[in-house]
Amino acid sequence: MKTIPRHVAVIMDGNGRWAQSRNLPRLAGHEQGSKSIRQCVEACMETGVEFLTLYAFSSENWKRPALEVSGLMLLLERFLNEKKEEMLREGVRLRAIGRLEDLPPPCRRKLQEVCDATKNNTRLQVILALSYSGRTEILDAVKSIARDATEGSLCAEDVTPDLIASRLYTDGIPDPDLLIRTSGEMRISNFLLWQLSYTEIHVTKKLWPDFGKADFLEALEDFNGRSRRFGGV
C-alpha cells in the first residue's frame, strides 16, 4: 500500500445482532466483539497506523436495559485488566474520550490506571470513546470558549477552527483519515462530528464480532485507492 492512514476510527456495530442470530444473550456478542479489537490493533501495528479510535459506548447507550449496561461496564473492566500488561509490552498507549465522569467509579478508576500506566508508549495510540456524543463534545467546547469570552480572555475574532479543535476531547489527536463502520449501516451515529469532515468512509456488512484482521486490511486497501482532494480539484 502506498498510503497508510495515520488515524483510523471504527464504529463497532452489530454485537447484539450477532448474538441474537445465534440465540445468545446480547452480552455474548459484546464479549466476542472484544476479540475483534485485538485483531484491529494487530493490523494497526503491522501496517504503521498510529491512532485507532474505537466507538465503544455512546451517551445514548445509557438508555439500554440496566442489565446490559452493567454487563458492558464489567466487560470493560475485565478488558482493561486483561490487556494492561499486553499494552505495556507491545508499546500501545490507551486514551479515552467522552463524558468519562458518567462511568461507574470502579470502571473509571481502572481506565485511569491503564491510561496512566501506558502514557509513555508510542507504537500505537488506542482511543476508547466512552459515554461519548459528538454533539456533546462540540457543546462542551463551545461552553469552554464562552466562559473565556465572558471572562474577557477571548474575543470573537479569536475563535478559529484551530481554537475549537483545541477545546475538543481529541485535542492533540489528528483527525481520522479513515472511518470504518461494520454491520452495513450508512450513518455516523453522532461520532466525531467535527473531526470527520474530510474522512474517507468504508462500510462493511460484516457484524463487528465477525470483523477480523483481513477485513481491516481490506479497508486500508480501499482507502489506498481513494483520491483525497479536501475540497480541491
Please give the positions annotated as active site: 13, 61
Fill in the DSSP letter of residue 46: H
Residue 58: all three cell numbers together: 455512546
SS3 label, residue 221? helix
Residue 188: all three cell numbers together: 455516523
**Number of neighbouring beta carbons within 10 Å of residue 4:** 16
Say how far residue 40 (Cα) sits from the centre of its chain: 12
Return d(Cα 5, Cα 203) in angstroms, integer. 16
- Provide DSSP, 127-155: EEEEEE-HHHHHHHHHHHHHHHHHHTS--
Return d(Cα 49, Cα 131) in angstroms, integer. 25
CA dihedral 24, 27, 28, 30 (to 10 degrees): 130
Helices of type H across the chain: 15-20, 26-47, 66-90, 105-117, 134-151, 161-166, 213-224
